[in-house]
Chains A and B, each alone.
Chain A
């Protein structure tokens, strides 16, 4: 276990096509199932309404961080914030990054979501990087224990 999620997916589509699907607010809304009010702009908050059946009452909100054409699209948000009665803004947001890379057959998309804690990003990242072997082994020990105990 670590405090980040990473997904890699091969898409049989040109990088320009994938970039558009990620960053055009209408296209993003199609597959992400959210109706956004306007385009993504770095530094600006994007607001919309979830279109997933049963969750239409739920507002969607993210702050766009980076838009490097056909390379990196990132935003911060509060994942899984589906309860309208909870004020998620008091919580520390996580960072979602979509990184694109051209491949022989199309595009490699690497998605990461990080920052599920409150430690300043740089310090935490350093702690993870420096001691990855140790971290992995230690988490393995703890997980083994957790598995045995539960």
Chain B
């Protein structure tokens, strides 16, 4: 079981917020899309084909790294970046849970307002 899973509910919720915040940016989503093939990429590879500077890419990668979505792996003189799918899977689970709560509440509302047949 990972460190994250063992942490308290409060810390997990904070982590969820930072994952959502990290995902709320087009450049970072594009970076994740590139990394979603599961391969490790260098900053040069991630900058390729974009109009964004290396420095900006590095900054976005740092945000993703802090949210735990991306891991940096040292490879010789450069860092390679890889996607860690676990935090995204966790926020999805959390949303699913909130979503189920609403399904139940709304079905109670339905029985409450609809006249009995």
Contacts and interface: CB of A to CB of B under 8 A. Distances in A.
Contact of A17 (B16, B38, B113): B113
A102 interface: no
A31 B98 contact: no
B30 A138 contact: yes
Interface string A1-29: 10101010101110001100110000100
B36 A91 contact: no
Interface residues of A, number: 50
Contacts of A135: 26, 29
Nearest to A131: B26
A87 to B, nearest CB: 8
Interface size class, chain B? 35 or more
B97 to A, nearest CB: 7
A115 B59 CA distance: 24
B112 A92 contact: no
B9 A119 contact: no
Contact of B24 (A3, A5, A150): A3
Interface stretch (B45-53, B72-80, B85-93): B85-93
A27 B112 contact: yes
Given A145-B38, A146-B85, A13 B115 contact: yes
Contacts, number: 129
Contact of A149 (B10, B23, B85, B95): B85
B1 interface: no
Contacts of A54: none
A28 to B, nearest CB: 9
Contact of B10 (A1, A86, A148): A86
Nearest to B16: A116
B32 A9 contact: no
Contacts of B85: 142, 145-146, 149-150
A70 interface: no
A13 B13 contact: no
Contacts of A142: 32-33, 36, 83, 85, 88
Interface in B43-69: none
Contacts of A37: none
15 contacts: A3-B20, A7-B103, A9-B106, A11-B109, A27-B112, A31-B108, A31-B109, A118-B17, A142-B32, A142-B83, A144-B36, A146-B89, A146-B92, A148-B38, A149-B38
